[in-house]
Structure 1
Amino acid sequence: MTRLTRTTPAPAQGIVHLGLGAFFRAHGALYVEEAMAASGGDWGITGVSLKSPGQRDRLAPQCGTYTAVELGPEGETARHVSVIREVLVAPEDPAAVLAALRTARLVTLTITEKGYCHIPATGRLDLAHPVIRADLANPEAPASAIGYLTRALAARRDAGEPPFTVLSCDNIPGNGALLRGLVLELAGEIDPALAAWIAAEGAFPSSMVDRIVPATTEADIARTEALTGLHDAAPVMHEPFRQWVIEDHFAGPRPDLAAAGAELVEDVTPFEHMKLRCLNGTHSALAYLGYLSGAETISDAVAHPALAAYVRHLWAEEILPVLTAPPGTSLPDYADALFRRYANPAIRHRTWQIAMDGSQKLPQRLLGTIGENFSAGRSPRGLFLAVAAWMIYTSGRDLHGAAIDVRDPLADRLGACWPGAPAEVTARYLAIEEVFGPAPDPALAEGLTAALTALLTSGPETAAQQVI
């Protein structure tokens, strides 16, 4: 079988992307390629793998090209993507990464919540984090994404050049403001004058991204080959829907992303709150309850009538009432569209995949909404149940005693909260300040204890029915 490869010259670099995973290749890279097709410009992407060489090793023999396969309810559509110029592996050649950043006009990131090396409950840089300590010990050889950005911006300042724009594409509220704060903290530890320059000259627009992108499997590689007649070691699979809302605040030129359908707005906040609470929040809820009920994927989970009713309850009674709709948006219609996306059987988005790194995700996906319900005088029993299901999941054992492969930066501490009575276990979890903050509301302890008791005694589907 012939291998996929580049058939046109690679575009000149305009963008460096940190954390080149499946999501960006199925989302941001497509927008950039379409923007160049519509309006021109040199916006080729240099991808950077911050840890392992796997992505580089799959894409390099294909000259950076790959296949994006749209999985619709009625069939599959493939397109070849050629916007990625090359992939660098940071631990192998930090100097090459810094050189690429030095000449970039735009730097984008999908490094997931844990890649920010921050304390989720406070939004501050975790100065005790091993890679941040390494960045401080040797700023010339960064270890973290924050370190690379800070060092590259320092090089631009020292050369008398303007900064590049830094655009986060991660599912974190106020991701641009958060990232700016973290870079300024690290820069301030290294050189206060550098921090002042970045604060005055830099641009860190926030953005909201949306597209369901399951992890690629060997079966996906085989089906892509059957669909296209070419062997591709690195295809990406995605749903038809996509959205990218970007704060229109850049330090220099940018690709014409609006020509590709991106929304450039003054304030991303209502869009990101809607998506983080409605989609990411219920995705996490369904991931934990679905996993405990034996559902392998989100579409399997909503095929359970009790969980389908539960997620609709979350939207109608606990999430939408504390949201402000973006201009021109109907929140009930948005929730209905989300349910249809969840039920798409062609998207095999595994509950185990979504459940990863929950300690980094809960504050913005679930705990923020719980706090807003408290402020409104409501007791969000469905959201309590989602957090309690996460607690059981991170125990490392499901409700039948089978082992769970828990992937989380705090996995050892979370697992150590068990065993015990529900109230004791809940108290141990709430003592983890990185997740719950220094002084959780007493109503949270009461609600989580009741939800945990219901899950342990009745199971996920009965417990879900009881909160409706």
Structure 2
Amino acid sequence: MTQPLSRNSFPALPSYPERMIQFGEGNFMRAFVDWQVQQMNNKGLFQGSAVLIQPLEQGLGGMLAEQDYLYTVLLNGILDGRTVSDREIMTSVSRLINPYSNYQDFLALAEDDALEFITSNTTEAGIAYHPGDRLEDAPQKSFPGKLTALLYKRFQLGKKGFVIIPCELIDRNGEKLREIVQRYASEWNLGEEFAAWLETENTFCCSLVDRIVPGYPRDKAGELEQELGYRDNLMVTAEPFLFWVIEGPAWLKEKLPLAEAGLNVVVTEDMTAYRERKVHLLNGPHTAMVSLGLLAGLETVEDVMNDGVFSAFVRQLIEDELIPMLDLPLEELQSYAAAVQERFRNPFIRHELTSIYLNSVSKFKTRLLPVLLRYRKERGELPKLITLAFAGLLLGYRGDRLQRQDGPEVLAVFDATWKDPQSFVEVILQDNSLWGENLLSVPGLKEALEDGLRLLDSLDCRTALEQTIGGEIQCSDS
């Protein structure tokens, strides 16, 4: 039997001083940010590690500790025309702190002058204000609340601030995080000097992340254990493609030498064009396909792209509804869209739809709702495929056909609303907490969603898609 991954098995692996605080210990951050820290370390450019903060009371802290905070990243796919199959043990994580059980250890991070950066990925719902948070809490419920407490401790010690780079997939993530921190600072009466220190001594960057990370390869775990020669319960698969856009000052390029390490990272003064292209042409199709795919019994993104009806749905969605609503050169959009669909077909990684399904309401709000609203305004009609995807989302959140994965507040809204099926769509569209506005005012949307729900409920999902797409389907085996 193979031994578990640990430093005892690999005593020559290096260790690095802590230079980064990272909120979030999930698959994505470990295969994206921590992987990039590793690449900088490999080239002698950073020589640092990340201390992870567990954002929820239950997390991966115990499993990481059992492996001495080591884990393997498996890169599989096609990059620049060549097949990539790479395995590397990550040494870029130093430890994990669970603030729910070790809050004082969490606050003690403020004392370390070597810590310069804060990164995060607490899901799309993580950057949110929680009215019950107080400075005296140990810990605060929300990520911004915890961050505010840490920053205030840092300020009290008279130390320099941080470069803060959130990776949550929401628009202007750095700005929104800063706004919530400032709100807590005001409500907690932390003083004008702290407010000024927040503004002048800390750099909140907006960022855009792009790497498909399917996570733990359950279907190949035994085979990989034999190949690697050790057991790794936290190994994570990812595609070789990576892109990170950070909206921040030019000096950040030297302070965090990601591009110098050969990584596909852009530091820019304005990330708007990059964001729109990625959020709508990569994340948008993911969100559109996930509920419908799960309802049809599909399991992975590759399954979707290898299904004639569903691949036609994705292609038509991109060409007819997404690209026309983006203000970028058509040739650039078409090239990026072609690359996205090639990445979706990557046969080397298993990107499960259930992982994409997490927090689908906030994802739809960010990725597809703006396109739907613009399409309706400019063309005087609703985009039929996005609207059907919206209906699929609502049907999935009924809870009797799909296993919902969302916050308790969101699920409570749906559970209460579904009690009266006749008024469900009308009531749910008016819920500003879900959509950020009253969608009942969108002409024809209520009726279209009711039609879509009836269609998906009365037919199997693939037949419903065929009827919606019409004559556009060109079935194939690829």
Tell whether the structures are fold-level matches, with TM greater than 0.5. Answer: yes
2:343 maps to 341
Q: Secondary structure at the match of 2:417?
A: coil
* 1:98 to partner: Cα distance: 1.8
Contact 1:203 1:250 in 2 (8 A): no
Deviation at 1:420, TM superposition (A): 5.6
- Give per-residue Cα distances to partners, 1:4-32, cap 9 Å, x unaligned: 23423311111011111110111111111
Residue 130 of structure 2 contacts residue 141 of structure 2 at CA under 8 Å; is this kept in 1?
Answer: no
- Answer yes or no: is the 8 Å Cα contact 1:221–1:234 preserved in 2: no
2:176 match: 178
Q: Distance in 2 between matches of 1:33 and 1:58?
A: 20
Q: 1:363 to 1:431 in 2, by over 3 A?
A: same
Query: Aligned letter for 2:69?
Result: G
> Does the Cα contact within 8 Å between 1:202 and 1:251 map onto a contact in 2?
no
CA distance in 2, matches of 1:54, 1:48: 10
Match of 1:165 in 2: 163
Gaps (5+ residues) in structure 2? 470-478
Pairwise CA distance, 1:226: 1.9
Answer yes or no: is 1:29 the counterpart of 2:40. Answer: no
Q: Please name the residue that 1:363 is paired with.
A: 365
Q: What is the aligned partner in structure 2 of residue 190 from structure 1? A: 188
Summarize the alignment of residues 183-332 of structure 1 with structure 2, pairs less than 5 Å apart.
183-191=181-189, 192-193=191-192, 194-249=194-249, 254-260=255-261, 261=263, 262-325=265-328, 330-332=332-334
In structure 2, the residue matched to 1:431 is 430
> What is the CA–CA distance in structure 1 between the aligned matches of 2:153 and 2:395, rounded to whole Å?
47
Give the AA of the match of 2:150.
A
Instruction: State how 1:350-429 maps to structure 2 within 5 Å.
Output: 350-377=352-379, 378-398=381-401, 404-409=402-407, 410-418=410-418, 424-429=423-428
Is the contact made by 2:239 and 2:349 (CA closer than 8 Å) also made in structure 1? yes
Is the 8 Å Cα contact of residues 58 and 234 (structure 1) preserved in structure 2? yes
Structure 1 residue 164: Cα displacement:
0.7
Give the Å deviation of 1:140: 6.1
The answer to whether 1:96 aligns with 2:97 is no
Alignment partner, residue 49 of structure 2: 44
Per the alignment, residue 12 of structure 1 pairs with 17
- Taking a change above 3 Å as real, the CA distance of residues 156 and 101 of structure 1, as seen in their structure-2 partners, is closer
Q: Residue type of the partner of 1:426?
A: V
Letter in 1 for 2:430: A
Superposition TM-score, scaled by structure 1 size: 0.89
Which residue identity does 2:460 align to in structure 1?
Answer: G
* Cα distance in 2 for residues equivalent to 1:203 and 1:268: 16
Moved more, 70-79 or 85-94: 70-79
> What's the offset of the Cα at 1:142?
3.0
Contact 1:362 1:435 survives alignment (8 Å): no
Give the partner amino acid of 1:105: E
C-alpha contact 2:103 2:138 (8 A) present in aligned 1? no
Are 1:83 and 2:92 an aligned pair? Answer: yes
What corresponds to 1:113 in structure 2?
Answer: 124
Task: State the secondary structure of the residue aligned to 2:212.
Answer: coil
What amino acid maps onto 2:151 in structure 1?
Answer: L
**More divergent stretch after superposition (148-157 vs 411-420):** 411-420
3-state SS of 2:22 partner = strand
Kept in 2, the 8 Å contact 1:209–1:244? The answer is yes
Equivalent residue pairs, number: 448
TM-score (norm 2): 0.87
Distance 2:86 2:220 in 1: 13
Task: Tell me which residue corresponds to 1:450.
Answer: 451
Displacement of 1:112 in angstroms is 0.3
Q: 1:218, CA displacement in angstroms?
A: 4.2
C-alpha displacement at 1:84, in angstroms? Answer: 0.8
How far apart, CA to CA, are the structure 2 residues paired with 1:114 and 1:436? Answer: 13
Q: Structure 1, unaligned stretches of length 5 or more?
A: 119-124, 128-132, 399-403
Which amino acid in structure 1 is aligned with residue 124 of structure 2? E
Aligned residue for 2:472?
Answer: none
| Aligned amino acid, residue 45 of structure 2 | G
Distance 1:202 1:374, change over 3 A: farther
* CA displacement at 1:366 relative to structure 2: 1.4
Deviation at 1:251, TM superposition (A): 9.2
Kept in 1, the 8 Å contact 2:37–2:46? The answer is no
Per-residue CA deviations over 1:282-316 (Å, capped at 9, x if unaligned) read 11111101001110111112222111111111111
Distance in 1, Cα, partners of 2:143 & 2:251: 19
Paired with 1:53 and 1:363, the residues of 2 have a C-alpha distance of 27
Give the RMSD, CA atoms, in angstroms: 2.4
Q: How does 1:122-161 map to 2 (within 5 A)?
A: 125-127=129-131, 133=132, 135-136=133-134, 138-139=136-137, 141-161=139-159
Q: Does the aligned pair in 1 maintain the 2:431–2:438 contact within 8 Å?
A: no
Would the aligned equivalents of 1:167 and 1:204 in 2 still touch at CA under 8 Å? Answer: yes
Q: Distance in 2 between matches of 1:379 and 1:68?
A: 42
Contact residue 208 and residue 246 of structure 2 kept, 8 A: yes
Fraction of identical pairs, as percent: 28
2:18, 2:48 within 8 Å by CA — same for their partners in 1?
Answer: yes
CA distance in 2: counterparts of 1:34 and 1:352, whole angstroms? 30
Deviation string 1:46-78 (CA, Å, 9 cap, x unpaired) is 112122465222222332221111122667431
